[in-house]
């Protein structure tokens, strides 16, 4: 079981909830192997016995809910149910030899999407990476071609698997009036009904997408007669509505609600939008509606700029956002379409960028409408506003919906649950850390407080994360712990017992008398002063020289003289020279020399930004406004503001942009003034083409100066030349003191580093001790891989530690940012010094990991150059895959993962 699950999860890059679902299916079939008895369809199953077997592992499973065994996997919208269906099919084929599948879609939209996703060489092909299906992909039989293709199926195919995809809504319409659905009628191509053919298959498995939509329909009652071996249901809504309220499914085996998806970062964060100090009661309905539409467009254009800027900064594809307007009915939708296409709505700029989607269309018109709707993600498709009546139910699988303007009556709960479900998917597959890129906006001026209050209710879809938080009393027991270096602990300069953490004693101090500790403290300060004297003290071992030691003794005596007369009076009780000598030796023995390296330009200065033609499409459509827009995140309550005007009047339009660009630290105005005004001029010219007046132009430049400047700066970074023809590496210090660390931890809990951690997910909350070679008495690990690596280091290293932020001051470039890199470990052996990073193997190819590794390897190269000249040890950088860290590994073996600088 694990072999197949691991292989499929790896090849399909399954997310954690998808993998959990696949593991659950494997476990269920392991508990009840009779479910998949091939060739024994006529032998009745003992469903109560099978249910009892499964309930031992899945206590939430109360019943199969159908005439055949069926399991429900409830996963939040946006997590990836279609890919999970593909994983289920792969597993059932590979592990159990199942070859025939019947996939049920609730409507035409999902039906078409499923056909596309199961068809090879399509953008979202679900079997990409599955070797068994590379040469012979599954045969796809649909509700439109089964009569023709059925003859081929009966005659035998080269494909190992057959997937039948049908639309339940079409079957429902066919059975109205008591008729038999077409699938049950005799086919001249097959010689029998296709239904009879399927019912006779020995290994048919039924997969139901969005199963809550058709649990009790006539079509499903007809499908029941297929008597599949097993049913697998997927839905984000595991309940059906009734007159008495929602009735939950009883066959749920995996429940991954929206709250968990929000916490885990798999979906956008929903936010409700209004104006500051807005009172909707002051406006008639038609005026309020227009205000919401206009603010929606303003927000949409601002998001478009943010997305373009993010793409430029990070070297990723540009995402074209669009806005969804939810109308009351088809008449209202038509009126909204006419308004948006009119010259009075932003001068008609959206005339060709808006489409109306409703149920009034049929035949070729409906197909053309759906085709345009499904193409809305393409940057080459012009649609930026979609008007819809029925809130676009499940199956509209897009990632670029960022703004929703609901204009139909609905209570707050309906607005939240139905609106956010359509726009939660993330365009880059994960959150970026940029609020505007990770947020879905619901423009609801008239329902703002009502929606906020609904989201704050304990049973809210968004607030359910409260049910999985640690108990409050556990949080209350957390304490902040300051961990000194082993040097300071040995010298008695730090608290031996760490506050609030029972049993966390540091190393036994060398000095206990107040007079000795004072001498050690002064000697420690004197040693720190020699860090900057690189020419005299190139490494910490130079502190042991007689001349240096005597200078430190003299410094200590001098500092004691004016203020420590009492100590001098009893100086015969304190051997100052002996204390100083031992202090220096302790510092040297319990440190690893970390040089402070600075890279400075040399030669002719040729750096700077090159002139280029500005791409203005990202911001040229920004719209003027008169009101500040307030955005409140429904998940974490954070607020953001989109200002209509800053209020600063510039002399020239270009000055708005230039002054915004001057705020960036890497832009020098004196050097780049000509370029800045050239780029600002290009931007202003592009805006003038779309705006009606100079007043509107200044309104946009004033209100959106930051967005425009961010966008231009991101483009400038792609046209930057390095600042010199060459660089010199300067070592400012030959060694630096080990910085103290601060951790948060649970009071009274310190674990021995060799203990196996039962709940690896909680390891970040734990403190570990028991070290002999670590330069800190306590350490905190980010993963169990790090803990196991520490076990190796305690066996093989001379000394090691996990550095604190600022210890190295290594910076790497990631898009427009240059964050600091803090390596996982620093290790000294008999022959070299290692900077080590342990990383999940799946993350090794990411841009961030590569950028960190390059910066760290270059630092090690420069440090090695310095140490070689001073007779010290060379540095190497190791980037170690997590699955290579085990107790039987040696540092010599792991050295194969060295990265060259």
- The yes-or-no verdict on residue 511 having pLDDT over 60 is yes
- H helical segments located in 422-513: 448-455, 472-476, 486-490
- H helical segments located in 770-899: 784-796, 847-870, 891-894
Mean pLDDT of 717-737: 73
Render 627-657 in DSSP notation, one character per residue.
S-EEEEETTT--EEEE-S---PPPSSHHHHH
Of 407, 442, 463, the position where a domain reaches its end is 463
The answer to whether the beta carbons of residues 386 and 358 sit under 8 Å apart is no
pLDDT band at 807 (very low <50, low <70, confident <90, very high): confident
Closest CA to 623 of 403, 300, 341, 278: 300
* Spatial separation of the C-alpha atoms in residues 3 and 78, rounded to whole Å: 27
CATH number at residue 281: 3.40.50.300
- H helical segments located in 590-693: 653-661, 669-690
Mean pLDDT of 706-726: 78
Sign of CA dihedral 283, 287, 291, 296: positive
| Number of independent structural domains in the chain | 3
- Write out the two tokens for 69: 């065994």
pLDDT of residue 202: 86
User: Is the domain of 282 the same as that of 173?
Assistant: no
The answer to whether the beta carbons of residues 87 and 18 sit under 8 Å apart is yes
- H helical segments located in 375-411: none
The answer to whether the beta carbons of residues 195 and 134 sit under 8 Å apart is no
The answer to whether the beta carbons of residues 36 and 203 sit under 8 Å apart is yes
pLDDT of residue 897: 94
pLDDT band at 503 (very low <50, low <70, confident <90, very high): very low
What residues pair up with 81 in beta bridges, in sequence order? none
The answer to whether the beta carbons of residues 614 and 685 sit under 8 Å apart is no
The region that residue 806 occupies, defined by phi over 0 for left and psi between -120 and 50 for alpha, beta otherwise, is left
pLDDT of residue 271: 82
* C-alpha triplet 304, 272, 633: angle, nearest 5°: 85
Q: What 3-state DSSP class applies to 44? A: coil
Of 221, 256, 291, the position where a domain reaches its end is 256
CA distances from 855 to 43, 80, 598 (A): 66, 35, 13
Q: Is 788 a domain residue?
A: yes
CATH number at residue 789: 3.40.1350.10
The region that residue 348 occupies, defined by phi over 0 for left and psi between -120 and 50 for alpha, beta otherwise, is left
User: Is the domain of 319 the same as that of 182?
Assistant: no
pLDDT of residue 466: 25
User: Is the domain of 280 the same as that of 246?
Assistant: no
Q: Is 585 a domain residue?
A: no
Quote the mean pLDDT of the chain.
81
User: Is the domain of 296 the same as that of 240?
Assistant: no
Q: Going by DSSP bridges, is the β-strand pair 239-242/354-357 parallel, antiparallel, or unpaired?
A: unpaired
Mean pLDDT of 874-896: 92
Q: Is 507 a domain residue?
A: no
pLDDT band at 725 (very low <50, low <70, confident <90, very high): low
Q: Is 525 a domain residue?
A: no
What residues pair up with 208 in beta bridges, in sequence order? 104, 233
Residue 664: CB atoms within 10 Å: 15
Closest CA to 897 of 853, 867, 843, 864: 853
User: Is the domain of 111 the same as that of 73?
Assistant: yes
pLDDT of residue 770: 87
* Owning domain of residue 171: 2-256
* Spatial separation of the C-alpha atoms in residues 815 and 784, rounded to whole Å: 30
Q: pLDDT for 263-320, tens place per residue?
A: 888 888 888 888 877 788 887 888 888 888 888 888 888 888 888 888 887 778 889 9
Place of tokens 């040297």: 588
Which residues are CB-contacts of 761 (< 8 A; sequence separation ≥ 6)?
none
- The yes-or-no verdict on residue 839 having pLDDT over 70 is yes
User: Is the domain of 65 the same as that of 159?
Assistant: yes
The answer to whether the beta carbons of residues 153 and 162 sit under 8 Å apart is yes
User: Is the domain of 292 the same as that of 198?
Assistant: no
* Spatial separation of the C-alpha atoms in residues 517 and 496, rounded to whole Å: 13
Q: Is 546 a domain residue?
A: no
- H helical segments located in 530-575: 546-563, 565-569
Q: What 3-state DSSP class applies to 600? A: strand
Q: pLDDT for 146-196, tens place per residue?
A: 777 655 555 455 678 999 998 887 776 666 656 666 776 655 555 577 888
- The yes-or-no verdict on residue 470 having pLDDT over 60 is no
Q: pLDDT for 195-220, tens place per residue?
A: 888 888 888 999 998 888 777 666 67
Closest CA to 68 of 28, 38, 104, 41: 41
User: Is the domain of 25 the same as that of 82?
Assistant: yes
Q: Is 468 a domain residue?
A: no
Sign of CA dihedral 760, 763, 768, 773: positive
- The yes-or-no verdict on residue 474 having pLDDT over 50 is no
Higher pLDDT: 335 or 223? It is: 335
Calculated CA dihedral for residues 204, 207, 212, 218, nearest 10 degrees:
-40
Higher pLDDT: 634 or 778? It is: 778
One-letter-per-residue 3-state SS of 78-139: CCCHHHHHHHHHHHHHHHHCCCEEEEEECCHHHHHHHHHHCCCCCCCCCCCCCHHHCCCCCE
User: Is the domain of 238 the same as that of 275?
Assistant: no
Place of tokens 């927000």: 299
User: Is the domain of 237 the same as that of 284?
Assistant: no
Q: Is 605 a domain residue?
A: no
User: Is the domain of 50 the same as that of 181?
Assistant: yes
- Write out the two tokens for 353: 């960028």
Of 428, 463, 498, the position where a domain reaches its end is 463
Closest CA to 118 of 86, 147, 93: 86
pLDDT of residue 444: 81
User: Is the domain of 55 the same as that of 172?
Assistant: yes
* Spatial separation of the C-alpha atoms in residues 581 and 588, rounded to whole Å: 11
- Write out the two tokens for 40: 């024994």
* Spatial separation of the C-alpha atoms in residues 851 and 821, rounded to whole Å: 10
- The yes-or-no verdict on residue 604 having pLDDT over 70 is no
Higher pLDDT: 883 or 43? It is: 883
Q: Enter the DSSP assignment of 873.
A: P
Q: Is 773 a domain residue?
A: yes
């Amino acid at each position: 079981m694990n072999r197949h699950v691991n292989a499929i999860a790896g090849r399909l890059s399954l997310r954690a909830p998808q993998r959990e679902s696949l593991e659950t299916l494997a476990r269920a079939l392991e508990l009840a192997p009779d479910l998949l008895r091939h060739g024994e369809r006529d032998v009745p199953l003992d469903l109560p016995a099978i249910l009892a077997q499964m309930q031992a592992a899945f206590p939430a499973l109360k019943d199969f809910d159908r005439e055949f065994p069926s399991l429900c996997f409830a996963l939040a919208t946006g997590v990836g149910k279609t890919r999970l269906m593909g994983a289920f099919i792969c597993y059932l084929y590979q592990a159990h030899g199942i070859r025939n599948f019947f996939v049920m879609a609730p409507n035409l939209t999902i039906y078409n999407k499923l056909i596309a996703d199961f068809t090879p060489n399509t953008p979202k092909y679900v079997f990409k990476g599955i070797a068994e299906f590379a040469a012979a992909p599954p045969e796809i039989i649909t509700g439109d071609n089964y009569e023709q293709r059925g003859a081929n199926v009966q005659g035998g195919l080269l494909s190992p698997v057959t997937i039948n995809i049908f639309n339940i809504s079409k079957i429902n319409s066919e059975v109205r009036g008591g008729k038999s659905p077409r699938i049950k009628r005799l086919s001249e191509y097959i010689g029998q009904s296709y239904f009879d053919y399927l019912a006779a298959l020995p290994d048919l498995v039924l997969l139901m997408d969005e199963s809550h939509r058709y649990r009790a329909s006539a079509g499903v009652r007809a499908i029941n007669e297929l008597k599949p071996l097993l049913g697998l249901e997927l839905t984000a809504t595991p309940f059906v509505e009734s007159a008495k309220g929602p009735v939950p499914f009883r066959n749920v085996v995996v429940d991954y609600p929206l709250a968990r998806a929000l916490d885990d970062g798999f979906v956008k964060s929903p936010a409700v939008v209004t104006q500051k100090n807005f009172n909707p009661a002051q406006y008639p309905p038609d005026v309020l509606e227009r205000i919401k539409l206009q603010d929606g467009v303003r927000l949409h254009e601002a998001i478009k700029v943010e997305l373009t800027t993010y793409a430029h900064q990070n070297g990723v594809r540009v995402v074209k956002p669009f806005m969804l307007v939810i109308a009351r009915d088809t008449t209202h939708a038509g009126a909204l379409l006419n308004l948006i296409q009119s010259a009075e709505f932003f001068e008609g700029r959206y005339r060709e960028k808006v489409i109306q989607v409703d149920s009034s269309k049929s035949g070729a018109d409906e197909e053309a409408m759906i085709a345009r709707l499904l193409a809305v993600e393409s940057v080459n498709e012009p649609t930026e506003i979609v008007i819809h009546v029925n809130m676009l139910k499940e199956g509209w699988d897009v990632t670029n919906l960022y703004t929703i303007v609901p204009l139909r009556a609905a209570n707050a709960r309906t607005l939240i649950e139905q609106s956010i479900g359509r726009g939660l998917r993330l365009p880059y597959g994960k959150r970026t850390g940029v609020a505007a890129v990770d947020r879905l906006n619901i423009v609801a001026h008239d329902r703002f407080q009502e929606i906020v209050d609904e989201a704050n209710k304990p049973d809210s879809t968004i607030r359910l994360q409260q049910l999985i938080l640690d108990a409050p009393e556990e949080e209350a027991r957390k304490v902040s712990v300051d961990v000194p270096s082993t040097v300071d602990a040995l010298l008695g300069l730090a608290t031996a017992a760490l506050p609030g953490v029972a049993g966390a004693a540091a190393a036994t101090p060398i000095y206990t008398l107040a007079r000795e500790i004072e001498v050690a403290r002064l000697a420690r300060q004197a040693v720190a002063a020699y860090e900057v004297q690189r020419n005299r003290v190139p490494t910490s071992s130079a502190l042991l020289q007689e001349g240096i030691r005597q200078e430190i003794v003299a410094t200590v005596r001098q500092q004691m003289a004016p203020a420590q007369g009492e100590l001098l009076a009893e100086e015969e009780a304190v051997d100052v020279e002996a204390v100083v000598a031992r202090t220096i030796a302790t510092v040297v023995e319990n440190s690893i020399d970390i040089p402070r390296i600075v890279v400075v330009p040399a030669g002719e200065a040729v750096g700077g930004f090159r002139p280029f033609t500005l791409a203005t499409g990202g911001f040229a459509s920004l719209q003027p406004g008169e009101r500040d827009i307030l955005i409140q995140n429904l998940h974490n309550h954070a607020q953001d503001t989109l200002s209509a005007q800053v209020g600063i009047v510039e002399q020239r339009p270009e000055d708005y942009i230039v002054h915004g660009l001057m705020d960036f630290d890497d832009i020098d105005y004196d050097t780049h003034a000509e370029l800045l005004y050239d780029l600002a001029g290009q931007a202003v010219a592009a805006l003038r083409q779309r705006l009606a007046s100079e007043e509107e132009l200044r309104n946009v430049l004033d209100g959106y100066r930051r967005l425009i400047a961010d966008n231009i700066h991101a483009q400038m970074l792609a046209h930057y030349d390095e600042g010199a023809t060459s660089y010199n590496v300067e070592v400012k210090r030959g060694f630096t003191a080990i910085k103290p660390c601060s951790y948060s931890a649970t009071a009274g809990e310190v674990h021995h580093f060799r203990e196996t951690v039962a709940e690896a997910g909680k390891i970040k909350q734990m403190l570990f001790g028991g070290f002999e070679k670590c330069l800190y008495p306590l350490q905190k690990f980010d993963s169990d891989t790090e803990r196991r690596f520490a076990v190796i280091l305690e066996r093989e290293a001379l000394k090691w530690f996990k550095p604190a932020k600022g210890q190295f001051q290594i910076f790497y470039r990631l898009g427009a940012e240059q964050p600091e890199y803090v390596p996982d470990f620093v290790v000294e052996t008999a022959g070299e010094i290692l900077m080590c990073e342990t990383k999940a193997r799946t993350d090794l190819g990411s841009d961030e990991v590569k950028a960190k590794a390059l910066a760290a390897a270059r630092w090690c190269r420069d440090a090695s150059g310095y140490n070689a000249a001073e007779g010290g040890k060379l540095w190497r950088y190791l980037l170690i895959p997590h699955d290579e860290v085990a107790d039987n590994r040696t540092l010599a073996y792991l050295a194969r993962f060295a990265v060259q600088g």
